[in-house]
């Protein structure tokens, strides 16, 4: 079974750094893109960016470029989403997804269970 399992919920203070993870299993991790989607409280889904673990090619949405960093460690089939300095507006549920297609532009299946990030002083 193809699965994406994310790290647990985080509570952080503004200005702190954070790295959340997403472990893929049941498929060839280096042969598929993996991406991140944000959902702020009570709001819709936002595409953040994707990475191809095979060669670390990374693409960001213009809205998130420079705000977050996406990386992957193919030795442990894990992708990461990282912030250098969190803001209260980063409070959201973050989902990892597996985009289908050689360019990463296809549909998303599966989805991780989500990681809730709360940033509050």
**What residues make contact with other proteins under the rule CB under 8 A?**
35, 37, 44-47, 49-50, 59-62, 95, 99-100, 105-114
Q: What is the distance between the alpha carbons of residues 25 and 94, in angstroms, rounded to a whole number?
A: 19
Least gap, CB of 45 to other proteins (angstroms): 4
CA distances (Å), 29 to each of 75, 81, 113, in order?
Answer: 9, 16, 18
Q: Considering beta carbons, is residue 54 or 114 the nearer one to other proteins?
A: 114
Q: Is 75 left (phi over 0), alpha (psi -120 to 50) or beta?
A: alpha
Least gap, CB of 73 to other proteins (angstroms): 23
Least gap, CB of 108 to other proteins (angstroms): 7
């Amino acid at each position: 079974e193809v699965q994406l399992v994310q790290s647990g919920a985080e509570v952080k203070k503004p200005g702190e750094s954070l790295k959340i993870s997403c472990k893929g299993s049941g498929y060839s991790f280096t042969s598929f893109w993996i991406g991140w989607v944000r959902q702020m409280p009570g709001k819709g889904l936002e595409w953040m960016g994707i990475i191809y673990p095979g060669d670390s090619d990374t693409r960001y949405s213009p809205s998130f470029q420079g705000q977050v960093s996406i990386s992957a460690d193919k030795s442990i089939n894990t992708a990461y989403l990282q912030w250098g300095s969190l803001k209260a507006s980063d409070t959201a549920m973050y989902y990892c997804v597996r985009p289908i297609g050689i360019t990463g532009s296809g549909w998303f299946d599966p989805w991780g269970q989500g990681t809730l990030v709360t940033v509050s002083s």
